[in-house]
Amino acid sequence: MEMNMFCHFGPNTFSGAEWGNGTEAEDLFNPSSLDCRQWASVARQAGMGGIIVTAKHHDGFCLWPNPQSTHTVAQSKWRDGKGDVLRELSNACSEADIAMGVYISPWDRNAPTYGSDAYNETFRLTLENVLSQYGSDDGRGNRRIFEQWFDGANGEGPNGKRQTYDWPLFNATVARLQPYAVIFSDVGPGCRWVGNENGEAGETCYSTLDADGFTLGAGAPATDVLNHGNQGGKYWIPAETDVSIRPGWFWHENESPKSLDELLHIYYTSVGRNSLLLLNIPPDRRGLIPASDSLRLMELRAALDSIFAINLAQQGKISASNTRGGNRSKKFIANNMLNSDYDSYWATDDSVLHPVLTLTFDHPVTFNRVMLQEYIPLGQRITKISIAYVDTNGIRRPLSSATTVGYKRILLTPTVTARQVLIKIDESMACPVLNRIGLFMDDITNSKQ
């Protein structure tokens, strides 16, 4: 999916807080012009595949009429207590043909049973209520949630107690009701927190993680481990990079969206480092994505479309020092990396772990972005690469190097003009398998790697 939209929305939108205390009056939530179709339209035009909404944040307020709570839209004056944000978003996502996900915080600063064994059952029923009736339509009349977002925050409830969360129960509930949903948390099991909220995956970023012995929140792996993953880790738990377009997660009147240059930098350090980007775009008190944020997203989309419109690598001829089965087999030839078929790829013989790819041009090309993609259905294999080029004077010069590639790696390089580009795979855990190679020119931003 590469990029999805996060929408932090709830009482905090109206109070100006980031973490509500659970005592807010239900009538505080009262958007004047809620239009989830607008959210979905903005997400789709920005090239995002899905929207994840904060159905319940730490304050416990529910954006749907949750039978397990008296702190919901049903107790508010919004739409005379008959409103349902999740229903409207489900329908909007279905119409726009984008996926819907939910953030449901296990921490609840309003629930009277929080801090007792009874609360785990309350939370299970809350999950069941959402996962059984909301989500985008899959075309067969089923509601699908593509991602269940679990925050590991664990603070005191209204009785001053903390909760011991029953994560096996919660995960099993998701798996039973939404078997295709990716479960996000510090330790997955579907995808993991990247370890920061700055929009930066590690320059080394493995999709595998050794999660045994760890739990969400205080028991999670170190943030550096989450940022980089583990080479040869036991579980496939790729990183998801969550960051807000504004300084805060909820909408605040005195805040503005990040600049285009900042967003491009985030794209390069998330999607460009083998991580999915979950970009938070908070609706305002009207229940709409603000024009300033929407316009900035459209600028980002236009910039990415412009930067990656022309793959200069396709103007050259590509060769490899080794091809699986020899050059007689077209199934694994290097040219497969220059077409648009995702399931078409180049590979080497099992014993060849250090091949060299060479792009040669009849007419020199000028670029400053190098993109590589491993064929992820066969795993993440490459652990170190180096790139050189031959300039217009025939002199070979070093250009860049990196560790992991993964689903997508975009290297930011100096602007060079080359007659030839050489990509050497210095280290790989198994024979390398690449399905895309690209050279691009970014003349829009000065983002640094």
pLDDT at 130 over 50: yes
pLDDT at 314 over 80: yes
> In CATH, what number is assigned to the domain containing residue 362?
2.60.120.260
Structural domain range at position 325: 312-440
44 and 100 in contact (C-beta within 8 Å)? no
State the residue for tokens 């972005």. 369
pLDDT at 447 over 60: no
| Chain centroid offset of residue 381 CA | 21
Sign of CA dihedral 379, 150, 93, 251: negative
Residue 449 lies in a domain: no
Give the pLDDT confidence score for residue 449 in this predicted structure. 43
250 and 13 in contact (C-beta within 8 Å)? yes
Domain end call among 272, 287, 307? 307
Question: Are 96 and 178 contained in the same domain?
Answer: yes
Question: Are 118 and 39 contained in the same domain?
Answer: yes
Question: Are 265 and 368 contained in the same domain?
Answer: no
Question: Are 81 and 23 contained in the same domain?
Answer: yes
Distances (CA, A) of 136 to 145, 177, 281, 287: 7, 14, 19, 20
Question: What percent of the chain is predicted at pLDDT more than 70?
Answer: 99
Question: Are 337 and 264 contained in the same domain?
Answer: no
Domain end call among 307, 338, 369? 307
> In CATH, what number is assigned to the domain containing residue 192?
3.20.20.80
Distances (CA, A) of 327 to 21, 317, 323: 65, 15, 6
441 and 303 in contact (C-beta within 8 Å)? no
Taking residue 443's Cβ as centre, other Cβ atoms within 10 Å add up to: 10
Residue 209 lies in a domain: yes
Residue 189's SS3 state is coil
Give the pLDDT confidence score for residue 323 in this predicted structure. 96
Query: Rounded to the nearest 5°, which phi and psi values hold at 289?
Result: -70, 125
- As a whole number, mean pLDDT of residues 267-283 equals 98
pLDDT tens column, 210-246:
999 999 999 999 999 999 999 999 999 999 999 999 9
Give the pLDDT confidence score for residue 141 in this predicted structure. 86
Q: How confident is the model at residue 448 (pLDDT cuts 50, 70, 90)?
A: very low
Question: Are 387 and 239 contained in the same domain?
Answer: no
Residue 435's SS3 state is strand
Nearest to 102 by CA among 173, 187, 154: 173
Nearest-angstrom CA–CA distance, 362 and 432? 28
Nearest to 1 by CA among 182, 130, 171: 182
Give the pLDDT confidence score for residue 231 in this predicted structure. 98
Number of domains in the chain: 2
Domain end call among 307, 332, 356? 307
Question: Are 148 and 23 contained in the same domain?
Answer: yes
Give the pLDDT confidence score for residue 330 in this predicted structure. 84
Residue 137 lies in a domain: yes
Residue 448 lies in a domain: no
Question: Are 14 and 48 contained in the same domain?
Answer: yes
Residue 186 lies in a domain: yes
pLDDT at 250 over 60: yes
Give the pLDDT confidence score for residue 375 in this predicted structure. 98
- As a whole number, mean pLDDT of residues 25-31 equals 98
pLDDT at 391 over 70: yes
Q: What is the pTM of this model?
A: 0.97
Question: Are 19 and 136 contained in the same domain?
Answer: yes
pLDDT at 138 over 90: no
Question: Are 209 and 79 contained in the same domain?
Answer: yes
Question: Are 331 and 286 contained in the same domain?
Answer: no
Question: Are 137 and 239 contained in the same domain?
Answer: yes
Residue 445 lies in a domain: no
